[in-house]
Structure 1
Amino acid sequence: MTSLRSVPVAPKALPLVGHLIPLLRNPLEFISSLPAHGELVRIRLGPFTLVMICDPELTRQALVDDRVFDKGGPIFDRVREVVGDDSLASCPYGAHRRLRRLAQPAFHPARFPGYAKAMSACVEEAAGSWRAGQVLDVPTEMMAITSRITATTLFSGALPPGELGPVLNDVKTFFDGFYQRMFMVPPLDRLPTSGNRSHVRARTRLRDAFDQIIAKHRTEGVDHHDLLSALIVAHHPEDDSPGMTDAEISDTIVTFFLAGTETTAALLAWALDLLARHPQMERRLHAEVDAVLDGARATHADLPRLELTHRVITETLRLRPPGWIFTRTVTADTRLGGHLLPAGSSVAYSPYLIHHRPDLYDNSETFDPDRWDPRRPQPPRHALLPFAAGARKCIGDTFGMTEAVLALATITARWRLEHLPGQQQVRPALGLALRPRRLHMQAKPR
């Protein structure tokens, strides 16, 4: 049996609680300090141990070898409480390849013009409702946009506006309490506290709402040209293997809705914050959207020419990756770098940690979209991991990038969002997604 003894322990662990205090108080600063102590570093969470991978190449190795480094650990244990065990994102290695093949047609390039049309319409409707001088709660406004986009592309309007609000509240309940629950050891996570009760109620309502929509789609037997219809009729063309079960569709739809609302909303909010702090880059972006867009909304046909907009989104993903930390479970004794990891070990990797390493990025703390200009030398391979890598790379990466670019272009074609007087540097509100805390901006017509 192998041992973790060769992996150094992060400094300043306290008796009993280990590193829980810095992880709860300032986790981004804490994990960013870990590469100084080794390529792998042990973190203690009360009685549990987590091995943080601090090296980009070792991170890539773990992501590519998803048989040995399978979905699991503290984060995915909590994710499965809501999305179940049968979703594309949460299922174990043995089920993943089949589910990925079945879900892939929903993300075929031929479907993207239709998705993009729905995305642009939702953004234009929201941005068109703002008033000159209105103070916007930016993360909340972006959540309203992305939730409407996700509901439209997933369900083709089967979730009307009156029902979307309660669903969005349940999504917010899930994300708001996620980070604290991640470090809550049993049986504390099952105590009848107000937070635990709210979590269970939100989870139940969310699942019930989506199961009703799935049942309605199946009964109608009509292709609504949405993601849910694609999953219902999915089959593998080269064999007679069955399509997705109702449980697999339900888990996958919940996953797509959660991922499609919170992460893209956080990304857009951060992009608007960063642009307001860099007026020269903001002016260049305005010049691009003015030259490219024919009308108020960006379309799928505009994407190839929205080059700077795409670079702004990419750089925002580097500086403020919504998915900032993930865990995996080691399924067999294995070697990673110079260390042996026993089966059952929990490992973690952090896109935020990799993206902020000064040895990988010049001026790593600086917002510089031009670092992604293909005419400039590019950062090292595997230095950018917003959508993971390997066979389990996010199936919705192109969907998310398309949505973010279209939304940012459509918003900035019509509005400048300015920080309120005295607005200090915006701090992140940590949860499953890294989103800005208390970001209020004033809408100024362009």
Structure 2
Amino acid sequence: MTAKQSRRYFGTDGIRGLTNTTPMTAALAMKVGQAAARHFLRGQHIHRVVIGKDTRLSGYMMESALTAGFTSVGMDVTLLGPMPTPAVAMLTRSMRADLGVMISASHNPFHDNGIKLFGPDGYKLSDEDEAAIEALLEEEIALAEPRAIGRARRIDDAQGRYIHFAKATFPEQLRLDGLKIVIDCAHGAAYKVAPAALWELGAEVIAMGVAPDGFNINDKVGSTHPKALQLKVLESGADIGIALDGDADRLIVVDERGQVVDGDQLMALIASRAAEAGTLKGGALVATVMSNLGLERFLAGRGVALHRAAVGDRHVLEMMRTSGCNVGGEQSGHIILSDHATTGDGLVAALQVLSALVATGKPASELLHLFDPLPQLLKNVRFNGGAPLETAGVKAAIAAAGAALAGSGRLLIRKSGTEPLIRVMAEGEDKALVARVVDDVCAAVAAA
């Protein structure tokens, strides 16, 4: 059995769930702290873990439980307070910590929470590390003797350190003077640092989603709910709107006309400009199987390949590292720029977009619409046990759909990793054909 197959608590992005329900309880969080500390207590140096969180009410509880777990085993804790996920990854490395922890459920509602772990290199833990920690969760973990219990301290300048880091990724010769930018922080982790970074670079900043109360994170704001940002951009006459999610590792943009720009268009801009400048490594962009065929064709026209990873920024990063690429991401707005960061960073990605806006002098509506997406349709079909994809009827429907799209589109069928759902996605030049093949496959799955 592989590490991935045997994982009980860790999903594709750490541990996540409904707060006060297993696995997202204070008791388990303390045990995770103990297990992770025991796994990373290596060598004779003073061991340290860096802990950040977003703005959920349950963050206080989870932070305290994790702190108790880490210190009880003998690891010192540095508390950052509300900080973006990429800031935790960056500070884990810069502070020479043995481990980094982000308490967040990303774009989920306030009642969920999660625990993301980073190794000393700032990358998310490997499957092997997660499997080792899970094994320790089933054991009685040896606690430190009283004299060796860890200490906990909160640092006050964490936000300033991250702002400085983010600004350093913006071209030194450029400024944001004269740009009116609406920034939507989703009442989440970046509610202070993102507006401050843009203001320090000279922009006129209109901030929204910057009044967290413990309950309103991602509530009708942020990258998964861009409607409020669209209205604010039009109302204020802004040059561009930027939306982050609850932990600020995801970016969606709104142009000056109020049109939403997804991750595919943003990656097209960043990758093509990097190729022109000779800074694109690996000769390719790494995206996922969900990225639009229009992106692939646009890049091909500029001599840039598109590598497709499985859905999830973790899979994108793995492929980036194995293929030597430095730009990757997802249609949903996770954009990884490995020259700057070890994980998706919404603010850093936004600064690359803004630098292009300043350098070209073009309006966002022109700069950020580099290709026409092909019609794409995704539907989910719930099934009641069994293996519907193995039935003759479903196999025949999939074969027929693939044949119908041959040469003009593509078909993607995948089983959800968390629910009894089959996801059916098709895209192609003929919108009616795309709809028909998706409906045909969905009907076959439902009847299986």
TM over 0.5: no
Q: Between the two structures, name the one with larger relative contact order (CA 8 Å, sep ≥ 6).
A: 1
TM-score, structure 1 normalization: 0.24
Q: Hey, which of these two has a bigger chunk of strand by percent?
A: 2
